[in-house]
Amino acid sequence: MSKSRVIVSLDFPDAKQAIEFCHKIDPIHCKIKIGKELFTAEGPKLIEKLRTLDFEIFLDLKYHDIPNTVANACRVAADLDVWMLNIHAAGGRHMMEAAYESLTKSRRSKNPPLLIAVTLLTSISSDDLLELGITKSIEDQVLLLSKLAKSSGLDGVVCSGIEASKLRYELGKDFCLVTPGIRLDDLNSDDQKRIMSPHDAIKAGSNYLVIGRPITGASKPADILKSINKSISSLD
């Protein structure tokens, strides 16, 4: 297993490009994430191919549906031998508890994948929350959903680095915090609004960093990975 805190987001439209990229990096230096676009295009067979390259895989499909549907989806995902998968905390306690319980029925029940919940997408702003009729601040809403996820049996949550410090304090050292919206100093924020650098996110309490374009768009992605790992190694 990789000890790296970096999860590279494979933001590619097809398996060919994803696999070509993965041959440029080392599974010792990162884990990888497969999201909706790539999984919709290529399906479970891609996961099988990438596992033969020894990568630990975060299946990022953000399940959000009635409890029984989400539970069945999580069980099937676990059977794919992924390292981590996620659901939406906004689906509520019953949905999250059903997802957690489903992993005990999967083929990997003795060594289930980490199950984490999305709190608020890092593209969400305070104005977006108000349009949705949510009057709590982003920080308070993330904390509320994170506490609900923990009490429902989940291993952790997806949160921005901005919220990580408070969540670490409130939810303890064993609760897993996965942080997207990571940007290197010389790159813009793209479509993310709540962003942070790798060093600052780990210092704030994040366990894992999801990084896409700064690595996948680099001419020498392996060098970028080594640089990021080095920048956060002193915080381990």
Of the CA atoms within 13 Å of residue 212, those in its CB half-sphere come to 19
Helix (H, G, I), strand (E, B) or coil at 233: helix
- The encoded tokens of residue 227 equal 């640089």
Residue with tokens 């957690």, as numbered in its chain: 100
- Annotation says 220 is catalytic: no
User: In a 10 Å sphere around its CB, with 0-12 CB exposed, 13-18 middle and 19+ buried, how is residue 179 labelled?
Assistant: buried
Closest Cα partner for 41 from 13, 63, 21?
13
Decide: helix, strand or coil at residue 189. coil
Separation CA 149–CA 144 (nearest Å): 9
- Residues pairing with 88 in the sheet: 118
Contact (CB, 8 A) for 22 and 53: yes
Task: Select which of 49, 62, 147, 166 is catalytic.
Answer: 62
Catalytic residues: 62
